[in-house]
């Protein structure tokens, strides 16, 4: 039973345009959500997070939106740059359960120059 | 560089053998998490330690065990290895344990190949 799903295994975007990566979850108890970026042969790198009491969090070119009623979150990257090409994972955690992360399957983003 | 170190980077061994993976958390972090990334399962939580004590268990096999030492480094022991144990094993660390919103910082991983 996959509690966190990223339904698009890959996404291709032109440099300078917006990249939108989507993530759905099934467990309504999740209260903290994170996005990680991963390059080959490296560990995941933390990008941005959002708690369930918010619906938006912004950090530079990255914005995460949370829609609790739809159990959906998205990561917007504007403008997209070739260096953003990587695999992006969304993850969810529970505040009072050790904060272990439940990951989605990842979306490979390719930003074309 | 996340500040989390893992050794070795690569490990090749045979079925039935036992290996130990090592992780040193970021300076000041008390919590260590272990994750397994295999081709068909994605990134899955295995086990968490906080300040030397086991805090949470995920989908960790009985053949696997872990511990966190007084200097806060952690070791993941994998025994009676099977072909299906071939995967990337990541360690992550964070300052707090339960009840804190802390981002986890990941090490570079250990790639285990079981032949």
Query: Burial letters for A9-40: b for 16+ Cβ neighbours within 10 Å, e otherwise?
Result: eebebeeeeebbbbbbbeeeebbbbbbbbbee
Higher pLDDT, B99 or A7: A7
What whole-number distance in Å separates Cα of residue A104 and Cα of residue B6? 23
Strand (E) or helix (H) holding A90: strand A86-93
- In degrees and rounded to multiples of 5, residue B84 shows phi and psi of -70, -10
The pLDDT score that the predictor gives to residue B79 is: 97
pLDDT of A96 higher than 70: no
The pLDDT score that the predictor gives to residue B99 is: 53
Average pLDDT rounded to a whole number, residues A57-83: 97
B13 within 8 A of B19, measured Cβ to Cβ:
yes
| Average pLDDT of the residues of chain A | 93
Q: Which residues from chain B sit within 8 angstroms of residue A95, using beta carbons?
A: 99-101
Nearest CB to B48; choose among A42, A98, A106: A98
How many helices (H) and strands (E) chain A has is answered by 0, 11
What whole-number distance in Å separates Cα of residue A108 and Cα of residue A45? 14
pLDDT digits (tens, 9 = 90+) for A35-63: 999 998 889 999 999 999 999 999 999 99
Nearest CB to B105; choose among A46, A49, A97: A46
Nearest CB to B56; choose among A95, A97, A105: A97
Alpha carbon A110 to chain centroid distance?
Answer: 15
Q: Is the peptide bond before A85 cis (omega within 30 degrees of 0)?
A: no
Q: Which residues from chain A sit within 8 angstroms of residue B105, using beta carbons?
A: 46
Residue in B4, B43, B45, B59 to test binding to A, most A beta-carbons within 10 Å: B43
Instruction: Give pLDDT tens digits along chain B (115 positions).
Output: 889 999 999 999 999 999 999 999 999 899 999 999 987 778 999 999 999 999 889 989 999 999 999 999 999 999 999 999 999 999 999 886 555 567 889 999 999 999 9
Q: How far is B43 from chain A (nearest CA, A)?
A: 6
The pLDDT score that the predictor gives to residue B98 is: 54
Nearest CB to B56; choose among A36, A89, A98: A98
Find the residue in A nearest to B107 (Cα). A43
Q: Which residues from chain A sit within 8 angstroms of residue B102, using beta carbons?
A: 99
């Amino acid at each position: 039973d996959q509690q966190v799903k990223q339904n698009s295994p890959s996404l291709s975007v032109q440099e300078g345009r917006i990249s939108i990566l989507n993530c759905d979850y099934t467990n309504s108890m999740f209260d903290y959500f994170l996005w990680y970026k991963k390059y080959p042969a490296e560990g995941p790198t933390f990008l941005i997070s959002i708690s369930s009491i918010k619906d938006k969090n912004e950090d530079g070119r990255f914005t995460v939106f949370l829609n609790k009623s739809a159990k959906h979150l998205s990561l917007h990257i504007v403008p997209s740059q070739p260096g953003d090409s990587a695999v992006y994972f969304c993850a969810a955690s529970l505040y009072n359960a050790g904060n272990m992360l439940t990951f989605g399957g990842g979306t490979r983003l390719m930003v074309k120059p | 560089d996340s500040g989390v170190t893992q050794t070795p980077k690569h490990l090749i061994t045979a079925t039935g053998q036992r290996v130990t993976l090592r992780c040193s958390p970021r300076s000041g972090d008390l919590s260590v998490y272990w994750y397994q990334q295999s081709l068909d399962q994605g990134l899955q939580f295995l086990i968490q330690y906080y300040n030397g004590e086991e805090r949470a268990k995920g989908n960790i096999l009985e053949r696997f065990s872990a511990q966190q030492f007084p200097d806060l480094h952690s070791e993941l022991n994998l025994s009676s290895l099977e072909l299906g144990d071939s995967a990337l094993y990541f360690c992550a660390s964070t300052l707090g344990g339960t009840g804190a919103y802390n981002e986890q910082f990941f090490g570079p991983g250990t790639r285990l190949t079981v032949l």
